[in-house]
Chains A and B, each alone.
Chain A
Amino acid sequence: MARAELSADTLRLDAGRAVDEIAERLRDAVYKDLRRRGAVVGLSGGVDSSLVAHLCAHAFGPERVLGVLMPEGESAPDTLDLSRVSAEAAGVETVVEDITELLRAAGCYQRRDAAIRTVLPEYGEGWKAKIVLPSLLGGSRYSLFTVVAESPEGERREARLTATAYREVVAATNFKQRVRKMLEYYHADRLDYAVVGTPNRLEYDQGFFVKNGDGSADVKPIAHLYKTQVYQLAEEVGVPAVIRERPPTTDTYALEQSQEEFYFSVPFDKLDLCLYARNQGLPAEEAAAATGLDVELVERVYEDIERKRRGAEYLHAPPLLVAELDRRT
């Protein structure tokens, strides 16, 4: 039988069935494998965590799910409201943990700002910044991490980061994801719940997460779903439209930053199809026809996928032992 041509429809799921299968696997994982009695989900107001909260409510009943809302001083203004909207729609209880003071105590902001000032000396009080990775769509240049900063008067400045500054900015901002995970585990331990992670397939496969931060969880129920499938299931389970229609954001930097700007460089619906095509061993020509991208660009996306996978190996690696443990059970 001839294989159907690759298109956006290729990734369409039988949504009702997919939701039931995930819920069943979640119950098995949490009750049988992990022996915990419910789920903690960190809610960001984004579509991934909203879908996970709904799936958990479906799997365990909303009374066995706790949504943790963890805004900080630089979160987008609508983050908290959207997180509440998604928790309400899922019917789950929430707690709010403002992490600003914890971050300040860890030196998150101060260390990051000092690193930015090494390339942008004028950056100071009242400025906002984000890190941007120029789009792969822009030509054959290497993608270089750039800091974009905005003064209190609204003036924008840009500077290429040095390797040291880049690493220091990332290391400091990673406190945000790690502090959030620490609080999720606090509530999980207190309630004897499991921490349910929210990465989708693009994030999980390509390493768009912080090790021991948002990359940490006891179970990751949507790590096999392409982002377009996340949207499809989100609609199926009733995630409110206001969340489904919001563009994906990292909500990590003070200046609004899309995931595309920071990490993926190509719109996620096109990246979904490229990743799928790559996984199926389809030629770049077929992915190009399905996405409307040039063949040459798809080949670069393929290379980028492999490069990010290599980078993600470290993020996925558990602690390595130098010798096998011999023990009987």
Chain B
Amino acid sequence: MTSPETIEQEVRQFLKDNFPLSADGIDLGGEDSLIEVGVIDSTGVLELIGFIEERYEVEIADEEVLPENLDSIANITRFVGEKTAGSNGAG
């Protein structure tokens, strides 16, 4: 199972690599809303889902596509931790 620290680090790296605004020196706090800060838009959410599904070998159902799971680095880290708990996961 991937540790929360690793998940957080990987999510930060993913955002930095894929979204120019976040790569451009914005210091994202763990609780900052990615949508409100303008780091990602609705296509970005699709991209984030794709990243999580592929990297952590999980499936995200439509009902799970909620701000409380995906709208901040802290939420994503917790959500991915829960999704991968009890499975072998990736990493």
Contact = CB atoms under 8 A, between A and B. Distances in A.
B interface secondary structure, majority: helix
A142 B42 contact: yes
A166 B46 contact: yes
A141 B71 CA distance: 11
Given A161-B46, A166-B46, A307 B67 contact: no
Given A307-B35, A310-B38, A166 B66 contact: no
B65 interface: yes
Contacts of A142: 42, 45, 65-67, 70
Interface residues of B, number: 18
Contact of B50 (A140, A141, A163, A311): A163
A31 to B, nearest CB: 41
A160 interface: yes
B38 to A, nearest CB: 6
Interface in A161-189: 161-164, 166-167
B65 A144 contact: yes
Contacts of A110: none
B41 interface: yes
Contacts of A303: 36
Contact of B46 (A140, A141, A145, A307): A145
Interface in B46-91: 46-47, 49-50, 62-63, 65-67, 70
A140 B67 contact: yes
Contacts, number: 44
A166 B47 CA distance: 10
Contacts of B36: 303
B46 to A, nearest CB: 4
A143 interface: yes
A27 B36 CA distance: 42
B66 A144 contact: no
B46 A162 contact: yes
B7 to A, nearest CB: 20
Nearest to A144: B65
A286 B38 CA distance: 27
A17 B47 CA distance: 49
A311 B62 CA distance: 24
Nearest to A161: B46
Most buried by B among A140, A160, A161, A167: A160
A140 B66 contact: yes
A254 to B, nearest CB: 22
A141 B65 contact: yes
Most buried by A among B45, B46, B47, B50: B46
A133 B45 CA distance: 13
Nearest to A160: B62
Interface string A118-138: 000000000000000100000
Interface in B12-55: 35-36, 38, 41-47, 49-50
A164 B70 CA distance: 19
A144 B41 CA distance: 11
Contact of B41 (A133, A140, A160, A311): A311
10 contacts: A133-B42, A142-B45, A144-B46, A160-B49, A160-B62, A163-B43, A164-B50, A307-B41, A310-B38, A310-B41
Given A160-B49, A303-B36, 7 more contacts: A133-B42, A141-B62, A141-B65, A142-B45, A144-B46, A162-B46, A164-B50
Interface of A: 133, 140-145, 160-164, 166-167, 303, 307, 310-311
5 nearest A-B pairs in the assembled complex, by CB-CB distance = A163-B47, A163-B46, A142-B65, A142-B45, A162-B50
